């Protein structure tokens, strides 16, 4: 097992009817800005419930954080926070709203050009306004970690950053608030969570036995519960398990002490930035091809994955690995998430630009063995085009 540091001070408040509990977590003297997205939290009543809980507080709102939150929009919010001397942010929404709120929290008192926060991958952050979250879309894990991903429209750049100052003070996870999500967002959320886990699990063994068991436990739960969320949308326990999976899939627990990959995510970010493809869809397209092309490097973990997650223990090693990859793709498709670039109208001509953007962003030695080069990415993308 590798050495590690694990620190996660976010308080999770989980369960039906828990939005009202946010008042125990925010000082009465706070000047609060509620930050949200395109308005679904207005339509489904979550925003009203948050405001009802905060009666008597000094609150204001900022709406319009988009999926893949943009620097351009977020800087408008930073101005508002500065002008109105806001001292607590409350993100109400999914990963994009929470990621955007993390950037705002870090940018408000940042000395210098705030884009440098992203360019330094978060290292330059010295202080942040405290913030909490009310999660409505389980997927990103942002509600219990200190990372975020921001897009700059002007340059079609989508980059991650993180800093220990950017853990939410609290996150409310009420599974009933996910009942109204459209099937596409359920599918995306399950795929996103699944690939977060494989990025931390499908690498090479370092005798991280607990980390492996935990990752496998989360994957098995996604496989068991994910399809039920599509057929039985108001099943509380199904939604609760999926919501908790998403959080535990990316809160630092299963990565502590083991190697990590993240090549699928880094290439996926370029596809989103260039083609507007949903984040989870880029992952569903890329993961099977990533595993095929890199299967020698990942062989031991892929065999373990085949056996423990998919129950595949018959056949020669290559056949077992291939079968596990096929099962993975079929699972994504069963969640109604397509797994080929052609499904999204992206053709071979698009590949060189993706590879160029990766190079421009310094992403030339990706993966747990730092051997995913632009040339290999080109091959992987080729395999993503069609069946």
Residues in contact with a copy of itself by CB under 8 A are 1-18, 207-210, 213-214, 216-218, 220-221, 224-225, 236-237, 240-241, 244-245, 248, 253, 256-257
**CB 12 → a copy of itself: shortest distance, Å?**
4
Q: Which secondary-structure segment (H or E) carries 135?
A: strand 131-135
Tell me which long-range contacts 367-370 makes (C-beta under 8 A, separation of at least 24).
367/261, 367/262, 367/263, 367/294, 367/297, 368/203, 368/204, 368/259, 368/260, 368/261, 368/297, 369/204, 369/297
Closest C-alpha to 298, from 335, 277, 337, 325 = 325
Nearer to a copy of itself, 13 or 277 (CB): 13
Nearer to a copy of itself, 114 or 175 (CB): 175
Nearer to a copy of itself, 60 or 232 (CB): 232
Nearer to a copy of itself, 106 or 245 (CB): 245
**CB 193 → a copy of itself: shortest distance, Å?**
11
Nearer to a copy of itself, 110 or 170 (CB): 170
Nearer to a copy of itself, 47 or 256 (CB): 256
Query: Do residues 360 and 291 make contact, with C-beta atoms less than 8 angstroms apart?
Result: no
**CB 112 → a copy of itself: shortest distance, Å?**
26
**CB 311 → a copy of itself: shortest distance, Å?**
13
**CB 76 → a copy of itself: shortest distance, Å?**
33
| Tokens representing residue 49 in the block | 């419930």
Alpha-carbon gap, residue 115 to 324, rounded angstroms = 41
Position of tokens 């099977």?
A: 288
Closest C-alpha to 258, from 210, 194, 298 = 210
**CB 202 → a copy of itself: shortest distance, Å?**
17
Nearer to a copy of itself, 14 or 344 (CB): 14
| Tokens representing residue 324 in the block | 């596990």
Alpha-carbon gap, residue 92 to 132, rounded angstroms = 9
Nearer to a copy of itself, 225 or 261 (CB): 225
Nearer to a copy of itself, 181 or 218 (CB): 218
Residue 65 DSSP code? P
As a whole number of Å, the end-to-end CA separation of the chain is 38
**CB 244 → a copy of itself: shortest distance, Å?**
6
Nearer to a copy of itself, 137 or 245 (CB): 245
Query: Do residues 330 and 346 make contact, with C-beta atoms less than 8 angstroms apart?
Result: no
Cβ-based neighbours of 122, under 8 Å, separated by 6 or more: 106, 146, 147, 161, 162, 163, 166
- For the chain, state the CA radius of gyration: 20
Alpha-carbon gap, residue 226 to 207, rounded angstroms = 29
- Alpha carbon 330 to its chain centroid, in Å, reads 21
Alpha-carbon gap, residue 36 to 382, rounded angstroms = 38
**CB 69 → a copy of itself: shortest distance, Å?**
27
**CB 291 → a copy of itself: shortest distance, Å?**
23
Cβ-based neighbours of 374, under 8 Å, separated by 6 or more: 355, 358, 359, 364
**CB 355 → a copy of itself: shortest distance, Å?**
37
């Amino acid at each position: 097992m590798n050495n590690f540091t694990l620190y996660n001070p976010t308080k999770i408040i989980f369960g039906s009817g828990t939005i009202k509990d946010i008042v125990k977590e925010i000082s009465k003297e706070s000047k609060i800005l509620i930050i949200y997205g395109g308005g679904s939290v207005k339509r489904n009543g979550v925003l009203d419930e948050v405001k009802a809980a905060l009666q008597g507080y000094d609150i204001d709102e900022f709406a319009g954080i988009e999926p893949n939150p943009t620097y351009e929009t977020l800087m408008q919010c930073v101005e508002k926070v500065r002008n109105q001397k806001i001292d607590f942010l409350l993100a109400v929404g999914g990963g994009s709203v929470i990621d955007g709120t993390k950037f705002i929290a870090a940018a408000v008192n940042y000395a210098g050009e705030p884009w440098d926060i992203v360019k330094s991958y978060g290292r330059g952050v010295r202080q942040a306004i405290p913030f909490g979250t009310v999660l409505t879309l389980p997927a990103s894990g942002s509600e219990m970690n200190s990372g975020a991903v921001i897009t700059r429209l002007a340059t079609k750049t989508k980059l991650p950053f993180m800093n220990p100052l950017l853990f939410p003070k609290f996150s409310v996870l009420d599974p009933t608030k996910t009942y109204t999500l459209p099937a596409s967002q359920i599918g995306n959320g399950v795929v996103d969570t699944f690939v977060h886990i494989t990025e931390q699990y499908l690498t090479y063994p370092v005798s991280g036995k607990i980390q492996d068991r935990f990752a496998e436990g989360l994957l098995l739960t996604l496989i068991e519960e994910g399809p039920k969320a599509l057929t039985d949308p108001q099943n509380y326990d199904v939604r609760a398990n999926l919501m908790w999976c998403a959080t535990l899939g990316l809160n630092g627990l299963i990565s502590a002490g083991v190697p990590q990959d993240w090549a699928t995510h880094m290439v996926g970010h370029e596809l989103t930035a260039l083609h507007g493809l949903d984040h989870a869809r880029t992952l569903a397209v890329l993961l099977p091809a990533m595993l095929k092309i890199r299967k020698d490097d990942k062989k031991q973990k892929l065999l373990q994955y085949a056996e423990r997650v998919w129950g595949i223990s018959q056949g020669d090693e290559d056949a077992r690995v291939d079968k596990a990859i096929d099962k993975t793709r079929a699972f994504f498709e069963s969640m109604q998430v397509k797994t080929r670039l052609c499904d999204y109208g992206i053709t071979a001509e698009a590949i060189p630009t993706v590879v160029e953007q990766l190079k421009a962003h310094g992403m030339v030695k990706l993966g747990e063995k730092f051997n995913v080069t632009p040339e290999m990415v080109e091959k992987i993308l080729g395999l993503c085009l069609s069946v």
